[in-house]
Structure 1
């Protein structure tokens, strides 16, 4: 009998000026414990001007470039997948850090065992994560597996698929966001299975301004209304969901004795979240090139802090709600 082919995994990052957390993410990838599986790491860079590429090269990553004029979220991932040699493709944001050494093995396990066709892992907050985002992570990324799940929710900040299945579908290169859910819907429509793995967590670090938060939810809503046209988000929905979310978060903050310090942040974050979603669901203009770039290319994060100072946070356990 011929020797069995050893599995190979390609981890695909996409990045634009992600130097602050990228080294931490790569270091965590380097520490992964795998049994008989080789790993390559690919960075799809869309024009970084900071140390992102330098960091990638220092960790032995293969760097793939995409022009700013050609960039979409789906296209950048397709570039990385085309360059990949792995049997399994793993997607992770450059500001996401695997939380333990079994992250990768646990994430791809359902693919190897044929329990799911496209999987995504848990996301938890970091020390710098806004209070309301901790609540969002807890809502959408629970502590129990869903293998398979009933709906087509998925998130490419921490996900995996076989290369053969990606070659069949590929990511939609035209959508302004939620390319993961567009792919998941297509797979599920053809009888495929979407799965969630709770014990494959990453720390997902958003350090956005409030205006960047609003743009993110606006951009995602533009796609959501296409893949779920039956979902309407009217002004009344905006007020109802906004006040419900604020009251929930304020209650959580009170329980954690953080009510005074977190109340202003909660009110403003949820306002930007739901106002962005409302505007995206009700936007009827065709976006100009300048507008598209403002959504694809938000202003860079504050990168004053050195990556090394955050390494210590990875060595202790954290809850999704601090």
Structure 2
């Protein structure tokens, strides 16, 4: 971020790739409102993603945004985001955190009168190819950071049992309706066990995390089934196959 010279800083994880050619345009559009400090876009997995990860993406990044301009809690995600550089210079990220520096930044910037905007049209594919141990370490690291951001927060063993159970049941429900129950029979409880055991191990203190933020991070996807009514027929997809062929011809 320190090397950036533009008005906005676009941030993307090393293991994501955009779907549409107007990804950056969509991600930056809300900054027309001078009170928007950060935008973040939709994320989806690919064929290698764990089924439970697909459910997390669907929960954290819905197809439609009901609070594009009025998100009242500091959830965001740096894997697919943009921030106003002038604000970052005044309030830089806390790089001492073990993760969730984006959430910490949003938590500090919102009381100054700025807002966060979710942009579902700015969609990327986020590829996580992790072993159970790496899943555990990721959630443990993020829990350690979350307890620093909210120092008095706690995550009891009962929370681990309750959230592990409800999320496994929810994942099985959706997998059954998606016709992929049997292939994910083992992967679902393994992923959720590593997720919430890592979270349990990372937490130690009690704090003031809002119910809305807790639901966004941990609660299972709703049991309601709906079809996406959005249509992107007029938008141009990025053809990664053609890009690969062009590279082969060059070399």
TM-score normalised over the length of structure 2: 0.79
For the residues of structure 1 that align with 2:155 and 2:88, how far apart are their CA atoms? 32
For the residues of structure 1 that align with 2:171 and 2:241, how far apart are their CA atoms? 28
For the residues of structure 1 that align with 2:57 and 2:117, how far apart are their CA atoms? 17
**Conserved 8 A contact 2:35-2:114:** no
Per the TM alignment, residue 130 of structure 1 is displaced from its structure 2 partner at its CA by 0.7
For the residues of structure 1 that align with 2:178 and 2:117, how far apart are their CA atoms? 32
TM-score normalised over the length of structure 1: 0.62
Per the TM alignment, residue 148 of structure 1 is displaced from its structure 2 partner at its CA by 2.9
Residue of structure 2 equivalent to 1:274: 196
**Conserved 8 A contact 1:115-1:147:** no
Alpha-carbon displacement from aligned partner over 1:238-260 (angstroms, at most 9, x marks no partner): 00000000000011111111111
Per the TM alignment, residue 197 of structure 1 is displaced from its structure 2 partner at its CA by 0.7
RMSD of aligned alpha carbons: 1.8
Q: Which has the higher contact order (CA 8 A, sep 6+)?
A: 2
- The answer for unaligned runs of 5 or more in structure 2 is 206-238, 244-251
For the residues of structure 2 that align with 1:205 and 1:211, how far apart are their CA atoms? 17
Per the TM alignment, residue 230 of structure 1 is displaced from its structure 2 partner at its CA by 4.7
| 2:180 is aligned with 1:258 | yes
| 2:12 is aligned with 1:113 | no
For the residues of structure 2 that align with 1:265 and 1:312, how far apart are their CA atoms? 30
Match of residue 90, structure 1, among 10, 29, 37: 10
Task: Describe how 1:24-35 pairs up with structure 2 within 5 A.
Answer: none
Per the TM alignment, residue 190 of structure 1 is displaced from its structure 2 partner at its CA by 1.6
For the residues of structure 1 that align with 2:121 and 2:152, how far apart are their CA atoms? 33
**Conserved 8 A contact 1:148-1:196:** no
Match of residue 197, structure 1, among 119, 122, 125: 119
- The answer for unaligned runs of 5 or more in structure 1 is 1-80, 284-309, 315-322
Alpha-carbon displacement from aligned partner over 1:72-127 (angstroms, at most 9, x marks no partner): xxxxxxxxx11112111000011111110111001011113336211111111111
Count of aligned pairs between the two proteins: 208
| 2:93 is aligned with 1:171 | yes
| 2:91 is aligned with 1:158 | no
Residue of structure 2 equivalent to 1:222: 144
For the residues of structure 2 that align with 1:273 and 1:279, how far apart are their CA atoms? 10
Residue of structure 2 equivalent to 1:139: 59
Match of residue 23, structure 2, among 72, 91, 103: 103
Residue of structure 1 equivalent to 2:133: 211
Per the TM alignment, residue 144 of structure 1 is displaced from its structure 2 partner at its CA by 1.9
For the residues of structure 2 that align with 1:268 and 1:130, how far apart are their CA atoms? 10
Per the TM alignment, residue 229 of structure 1 is displaced from its structure 2 partner at its CA by 3.5
